[in-house]
Every structure is written in structure tokens, then in C-alpha cells.
């Protein structure tokens, strides 16, 4: 729960100020500096810096800040047993027990197919992923709750879906290494089914998957659409869900956009709210780079080099990491100091590949075509069927929004449509975005694929 409180700390401060009327100054001086030290048996220990002394603790209690915090935490986490305890840092330090992960835990992570480094501790939280992170923490803290079962994480490649889903698994095992947690890629799941069918061992396959407490399947889009695997998967899904076991899935798109997913099954993926992860902003990229450099023991990377990478690799965290790996290989091989110029030279292939692409009507039409599975020819044709017209309207809307083309010029890119048609199509999309959140989300996913830099 400690991580959950940290993730919601700003919300907690806002509630104290806005709903309980504690003045901004009091919050800033007394509550903000509190440190969530630990949580044991619903007791939340907040520590205060030594400089405030015991009188500081007495002041906090006199102002009833422990009661206020307790009320907010109880409400936020729907748990009436939560108790807030204020103490000085030194008092806790004396009693501090370093968390030591047992052999059982280490064995459990290997049995569960987890990478040891994909933990919450190593995951950098920023604007782009804070919602996904908070949801994953909530699931980790109480797996199997209907609200997030299944937990469906989606987003473009390399943005941290696998890392986050495995973090949940780690957290669960850190707190109870007896839980049966299993992570598999879609490929592995598919291969096991095929093998089980061929060897007539489907019963064993079912036993293996149906006795787990938490099942994580990565890149589910590869599993869907293959009949035998899809059916077997949904049998497993239903069996686990009926027993309140947690299912965690990842995909590159939200359920409603997985074309090959049978409609009968689509709603099941949406029982829990699908959660998306966005590309990290500049500050988050910098923080990720520094964190990865520290993990890799890369000490000689200067600030301008971090800045150079973070400015130029903007979308994919895996590529950010790739840049660091390249630098680390050079520095280890040559025992050399990496200067800024050398770094630029070493990374030139990677960076130019990732350079900002100019968004053109062609790029937009191709992206919409790929995303909605409607051919480019149909989009620029005069065909009026609903799905083709929608693809065309969205493309025109995006051209207006992300290129500097005027209505006439946009019309030309669509086989010579006149400017009033373009105008009314754009309006239709704007209206639909306002009225229909699902539609708005779909357009948003396409925009993410285009990766505009504004
Ligand atoms: N916020 C983050 N903090 C730290 N590392 C991150 C973060 N986001 C991504 N990474 C790192 O980026 C790399 C790629 O992440 P991951 O494999 O989880 O992406 P993915 O979304 O599952 O990609 P794919 O869809 O291709 O499987 C990993 O090494 C992961 O540790």
C-alpha cells in the first residue's frame, strides 16, 4: 500500500486542502514534508524529519492531521482499518528491518518466467504512464478485483507494457511467494497449445494454466484470430475469471480495435477498463536514461549526452536503452571516455532513424489505412460505405490538424474532392469526437501512431 499512497500523494494533499479545509500553508509546511515510511497491518507510518523534534509530532497530532489523513486514506482505499501513525525518522530507523527477499521469492520469479529487473522500483513514472502505473499498483495490491480483471494494458511497442505487467507479478510474489504467478508471451502460449494438441496432452496444458492465481499474457494480439488457440485461451480465461484469479493482458491496441477478435469475446476484455500507455515526455525520458545508466553501472555519461539522446529518441523506450547499450559497449571495449562528439558519432545511425518524420497527407492516409484496415485506394475513392467514409473523414481531419495544408490542397490529396466536402467531413469528425468517447479514443490512437511533436 505504501506505493499506492505515494502514487496518490498529490491527490491526498488536494483532498486535504479542498475537502477538509486545511490551509495551503499548513499543508506545505507540515504535511508535504511527511515521509510515508512503511505500512504494516494497515498501520501507515509517516515520519517527520529530525529537525522538527518530538514537538513537531505533538503539533501534528494537536492539529488532528493524523485523523484527517486517516479519513482520506480510508476513503481513498476503501479500508476502514487504516491507522495513521506519526513518528520521527530516527525512531523508525532504529527499528528498521531491511527487506530481504527470500530464496523462495527468487525461486518463484524464475518459475513465473519473470525478468528480475522488471520491477516497480525500476520503472520510472511520468505524465505518460502515471495512470497505467497507478492502476498496476492497485492490481498488485489486491489482485482479482472485478474492477481490473482482466487488466488490459495497451500501447505502442517499447513503451513499458511488459515491464509494468511483470512489476505486478514481482510485487505479488514479494508479498506472498506462495502465489502461483505465470507470465507467458503469446507465442509461447500458442506453441504450447499446438504441442499439447499434437501430443494429446491438452489435459496437462489445462491443468498448468488453470491452477495459477495470476496469469499474464503478453502481446495478446498475436494469439487472437487463430481458432484453436483463441478458443483454448478463452476457456482458460473463463475458468480463471470465474474463480476470481487475476488475468493481465497486453496488446498494441485496445480490444475494440483488434480486428480478428471475435465480438463474442471483445466485451470480456473490456470487463476491466483497458489502460493505455503513452510515449514518455522529455523529463521522463531523461529520468529513464539516468536510471538505466545507473543500473548498467555507466558512470561516465555526461548531462549533455543524456540530453542529446532524450531530445532525439522521442518515442520508444527500448531505443533509448539501445542508445545507452551502444555507448556502454564502446566505453567498455575501448576503455575510453565518451565525449559528446564521440557519442553523436556512435549514435548517428540510431538517431537519424528516429528523426522526426514530417507528417504529410500521404503519411496520414497510410496510417489510417493500416489502422482501420481500409485500403488507401478506398480512402481516396468516392465510395460511400460507412467504414470507408469514416476512414476518409478521419484522414481529412488529421490532415487539417497536423499539416499546414488548406482545404483545397487536402481535397487534392483525396482524388480532387472540393473544399466544402473536406470542410463538412472535418466537422463530422469534430462533432463525433465530442459526442462519442470511443470514437475519440480511436482517433487518439491513430494520432499516437503518427507521433506528432506537438
Ligand atoms: N517507464 C519506464 N521506466 C523504466 N524502463 C522502462 C520504462 N518504460 C519502458 N522501459 C524499458 O523499455 C524497454 C521496453 O519495454 P517493454 O518491453 O516493457 O515494452 P513493451 O511495451 O512491452 O513493448 P512490446 O510491445 O514491443 O513488447 C524495457 O527494457 C523496459 O525496462
The answer to whether the CB of 161 is under 6 A from ligand 1 is yes
- Whether residue 332 has pLDDT greater than 80: no
Between 52-66, 76-90, 353-367, the lowest mean confidence (pLDDT) is in 353-367
Mean pLDDT of all residues belonging to the chain: 87
Distance 164 CA to ligand 1 centre (A): 8
The answer to whether the CB of 321 is under 6 A from ligand 1 is yes
Residue nearest ligand 1's atom 26 by CA: 157
Residue nearest ligand 1's atom 24 by CA: 157
Which of the two residues, 254 and 165, has the higher pLDDT score? 165
State the CATH class of domain 280-351: mainly alpha
What does the pLDDT average to over 31-56?
83
- Whether residue 452 has pLDDT greater than 60: yes
The answer to whether the CB of 162 is under 6 A from ligand 1 is yes
The answer to whether the CB of 123 is under 6 A from ligand 1 is yes
**pLDDT range class, residue 97, cuts 50, 70, 90:** very low
pLDDT value, residue 204: 93
What contacts 97, CB < 8 A, 6 or more positions away? none
- Whether residue 334 has pLDDT greater than 70: no
Between 8-12, 124-128, 351-355, 424-428, the lowest mean confidence (pLDDT) is in 351-355
Over residues 276-301, the pLDDT tens digits come to: 998 898 889 999 999 998 888 777 78
Domain range annotation of the chain: 1-99, 113-274, 280-351, 359-448
CATH 3.40.50.800 for domain 1-99, yes or no, is: no
What does the pLDDT average to over 375-394?
93
Distance 162 CA to ligand 1 centre (A): 6
What does the pLDDT average to over 336-341?
79
What does the pLDDT average to over 241-266?
87
Q: Is 110 exposed, middle or buried (0-12, 13-18, 19+ CB in 10 A)?
A: exposed
pLDDT value, residue 288: 93
- Whether residue 437 has pLDDT greater than 90: no
The answer to whether the CB of 249 is under 6 A from ligand 1 is no
The answer to whether the CB of 441 is under 6 A from ligand 1 is no
pLDDT above 70 as % of the chain:
94
End-to-end CA, the chain: 36
d(CA 70, CA 370): 51
Say what the pTM is: 0.63
- Whether residue 172 has pLDDT greater than 90: yes
**pLDDT range class, residue 12, cuts 50, 70, 90:** very high
- Whether residue 170 has pLDDT greater than 80: yes
Q: Which CATH architecture has domain 359-448?
A: Orthogonal Bundle (1.10)
Residue nearest ligand 1's atom 7 by CA: 160
Distance 160 CA to ligand 1 centre (A): 3
21 is annotated as contributing to ligand binding: no
Distance 286 CA to ligand 1 centre (A): 15
pLDDT value, residue 428: 96
pLDDT above 90 as % of the chain:
41
56 is annotated as contributing to ligand binding: no
Distance 185 CA to ligand 1 centre (A): 15
The answer to whether the CB of 159 is under 6 A from ligand 1 is yes
CA distances from 229 to 10, 186, 268, 326 (A): 44, 10, 16, 38
pLDDT value, residue 177: 85
406 is annotated as contributing to ligand binding: no
What does the pLDDT average to over 128-139?
91
Look up the CATH superfamily of 113-274.
P-loop containing nucleotide triphosphate hydrolases (3.40.50.300)
The answer to whether the CB of 163 is under 6 A from ligand 1 is yes
d(CA 86, CA 35): 10
**pLDDT range class, residue 237, cuts 50, 70, 90:** very high
Which of the two residues, 13 and 227, has the higher pLDDT score? 13
**pLDDT range class, residue 98, cuts 50, 70, 90:** very low
Over residues 142-162, the pLDDT tens digits come to: 999 888 999 999 998 899 999
432 is annotated as contributing to ligand binding: no
Amino acid at each position: 500500500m505504501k506505493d499506492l499512497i505515494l502514487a496518490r500523494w498529490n491527490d491526498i494533499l488536494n483532498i486535504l486542502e479542498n475537502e477538509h479545509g486545511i490551509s495551503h500553508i499548513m499543508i506545505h509546511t507540515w504535511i508535504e514534508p511527511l515521509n510515508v515510511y512503511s505500512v504494516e497491518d494497515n498501520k501507515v507510518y509517516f515520519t517527520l524529519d529530525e529537525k522538527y523534534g518530538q514537538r513537531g509530532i505533538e503539533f501534528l497530532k494537536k492539529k488532528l492531521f493524523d485523523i484527517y489523513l486517516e479519513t482520506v486514506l480510508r476513503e481513498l482505499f476503501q479500508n476502514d482499518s487504516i491507522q495513521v501513525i506519526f513518528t520521527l525518522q530516527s525512531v523508525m530507523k532504529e527499528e528498521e528491518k531491511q527487506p530481504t527477499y527470500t530464496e523462495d521469492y527468487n525461486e518463484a520469479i524464475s518459475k513465473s518466467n519473470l525478468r528480475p529487473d522488471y520491477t516497480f522500483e525500476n520503472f520510472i513514472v511520468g505524465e505518460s504512464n502515471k495512470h497505467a502505473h497507478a492502476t498496476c499498483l492497485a492490481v498488485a495490491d489486491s489482485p482479482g478485483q472485478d474492477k481490473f480483471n482482466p487488466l488490459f494494458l495497451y500501447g505502442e511497442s517499447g513503451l513499458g507494457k511488459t515491464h509494468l505487467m511483470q512489476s505486478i507479478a514481482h510485487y505479488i510474489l514479494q508479498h506472498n511467494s506462495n502465489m502461483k504467478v505465470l507470465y507467458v508471451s503469446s507465442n509461447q502460449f500458442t506453441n504450447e497449445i499446438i504441442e499439447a494438441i499434437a501430443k494429446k496432452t491438452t489435459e496437462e496444458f489445462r491443468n498448468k494454466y488453470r491452477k495459477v492465481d495470476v496469469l499474464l499474457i503478453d502481446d495478446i494480439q498475436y494469439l487472437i484470430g487463430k481458432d484453436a488457440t483463441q478458443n483454448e485461451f478463452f476457456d482458460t480465461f473463463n475458468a480463471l475469471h470465474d474463480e476470481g484469479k487475476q488475468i493481465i493482458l497486453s496488446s498494441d491496441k485496445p480490444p475494440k480495435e483488434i480486428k480478428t477478435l471475435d465480438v463474442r469475446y471483445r466485451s470480456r476484455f473490456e470487463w476491466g477498463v483497458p489502460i493505455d500507455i503513452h510515449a514518455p515526455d522529455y523529463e521522463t525520458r531523461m529520468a529513464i536514461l539516468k536510471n538505466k545508466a545507473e543500473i548498467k553501472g555507466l558512470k561516465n555519461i555526461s548531462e549533455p549526452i543524456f540530453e542529446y539522446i532524450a531530445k532525439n529518441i522521442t518515442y520508444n523506450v527500448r531505443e533509448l536503452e539501445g542508445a545507452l547499450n551502444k555507448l556502454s559497449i564502446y566505453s567498455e571495449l575501448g576503455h575510453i571516455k565518451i565525449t559528446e562528439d564521440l557519442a553523436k558519432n556512435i549514435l548517428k545511425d540510431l538517431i537519424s532513424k528516429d528523426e522526426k518524420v514530417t507528417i504529410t497527407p500521404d503519411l496520414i492516409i497510410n496510417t489510417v489505412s493500416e489502422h482501420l484496415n481500409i485500403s488507401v485506394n478506398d480512402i481516396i475513392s468516392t465510395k460511400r460505405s460507412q467504414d470507408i467514409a469514416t476512414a476518409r473523414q478521419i484522414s481529412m481531419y488529421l490532415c487539417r490538424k497536423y499539416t499546414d495544408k488548406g482545404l483545397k490542397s487536402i481535397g487534392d490529396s483525396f482524388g480532387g474532392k472540393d473544399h466544402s466536402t473536406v470542410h463538412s467531413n472535418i466537422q463530422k469528425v469534430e462533432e463525433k469526437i465530442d459526442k462519442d468517447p470511443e470514437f475519440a479514443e480511436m482517433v487518439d490512437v491513430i494520432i499516437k501512431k503518427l507521433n506528432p511533436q506537438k
